[in-house]
Amino acid sequence: MSKVFKLAIIGCGGIANGKHLPSLKKLNNVEIVAFCDIVEHRAYEAAGLYGAEGAKVYTDYTELLQDESIEIVHVCTPNDSHADIAIAALEAGKHVMSEKPMAKTAHDAQRMVDAARRTGKKLTVGYNNRFRPDSQHLKKLCEAGELGDIYYAKAHAIRRRAVPTWGVFLDEEKQGGGPLIDIGTHALDLTLWMLDNYKPKVVLGTSYHKLSQRENAANAWGPWDPAKFTVEDSAFGMIVMENGATIVLESSWALNTLEVDEAKCTLSGTEGGADMKDGLRINGEKHSRLFTTQVDLKAGGVAFFDGKTENEADLEMRMWLKAIEDDTEPVVTPEQAFVVSQILEAIYESSKTGQAVYL
């Protein structure tokens, strides 16, 4: 019989209730035994919906971490607190999943990597888009060498008008940035993972506050308050890797464009290319003719898929617990997530200075 892990949630807001808790509740090898939030009623509500019998509620995460029976902690708080909470949990002997981005700064992300190595506990970051069927299939193609040497890629995180107006999304002090660190982080992680390339050399970036100061602007979640919109509304970067490969990263919450794609990538290699524009398409050349193939993602199996009805979050949580149970590396390693944070920070720095940033 599989071991049943005791797990705690720190931060009982949107991402905890929208992703972590519903997927964890489906698993039979985990009990959610503790809930923490600075707003106490949120913790009580989450415990009532998802908690094991006798689940405890806290408003101070340091008190929660004193419970030696808790083996796993999920950190679902604003970006500026990811590092301190995750490091404290690792030091307390817990395995940790932190929501994306890994941390507000690259320095904090490095502190998290160091803490995981020092304690010997597992640390992962919630890059759930790796677990989509199209992502899983494309990763297998890349690993098999079907695209050859991938030397050019685009990481897409473009919304036309979808600015999150709730919580602390517009607060630069809490979040560290806007669409680049919020959704650009997913697209960049996905792209680096496909290339299996985590050695950036130089980064050039720009960020803009062009639409954020407009009153009563059209927006999927209602108009924003320009006075509170302290982060960028769009940001773009060019990353050159040590092996010469180039990645273009594009991100926006508000941009006058019809080319809308989020958490997707486009790859160009010596033997073929791929994009996620409409499902998954592969392109290349055979017998002196160009071809484009639309991949039927329903026709074949997906890596790690066992026949159950699973969405990407379900698979993410199951594979995370499997890594703990089997004592193997998680799908998203802390070292990989650190490089994402390092590049994002370099784009922001380049935008401020107008200079390329060498890493």
pLDDT tens per residue across span 69-92:
999 999 999 999 999 999 999 999
Confidence of residue 298 (pLDDT cuts 50, 70, 90): confident
Query: Residue 248, class by beta-carbon neighbours within 10 Å (0-12 exposed, 13-18 middle, 19+ buried)?
Result: middle
Pick the CATH number of 130-304+339-358 from 2.70.150.10, 3.40.250.10, 3.30.360.10, 3.50.50.60: 3.30.360.10
CATH of domain 5-128+311-332: 3.40.50.720
Question: What residue has token string 């985590």?
Answer: 198
Judge whether residue 329 has pLDDT over 80.
Answer: yes
Per-residue pLDDT, averaged over 126-152, amounts to 97
- pLDDT tens by residue, 186-218: 999 999 999 999 999 999 999 999 999 999 999
Per-residue pLDDT, averaged over 292-319, amounts to 77
Give the distance between the most distant pair of CA atoms in the chain. 67
Residue 247 β-bridge partners: 153, 239
- pLDDT tens by residue, 7-49: 999 999 999 999 999 999 999 999 999 999 999 999 999 999 9
Residues 6+ apart with CB under 8 A from 239: 200, 202, 203, 246, 247, 248, 249, 343
SS3 of the chain: helix, strand, coil, percent, to 5: 35, 25, 40
Q: Which two tokens stand for residue 57?
A: 């509620």
Per-residue pLDDT, averaged over 238-255, amounts to 98
Confidence of residue 308 (pLDDT cuts 50, 70, 90): low
Say if strands 261-269 and 200-208 run parallel, antiparallel, or are unpaired: unpaired
Q: Which two tokens stand for residue 95?
A: 């395995």
Judge whether residue 321 has pLDDT over 50.
Answer: yes
User: Over the chain, what is the mean pLDDT?
Assistant: 95
What is the residue extent of each domain of the chain?
Answer: 5-128+311-332, 130-304+339-358
- pLDDT tens by residue, 83-131: 999 999 999 999 999 999 999 999 999 999 999 999 999 999 999 999 9
8 A C-beta contact, residue 188 and residue 155: yes
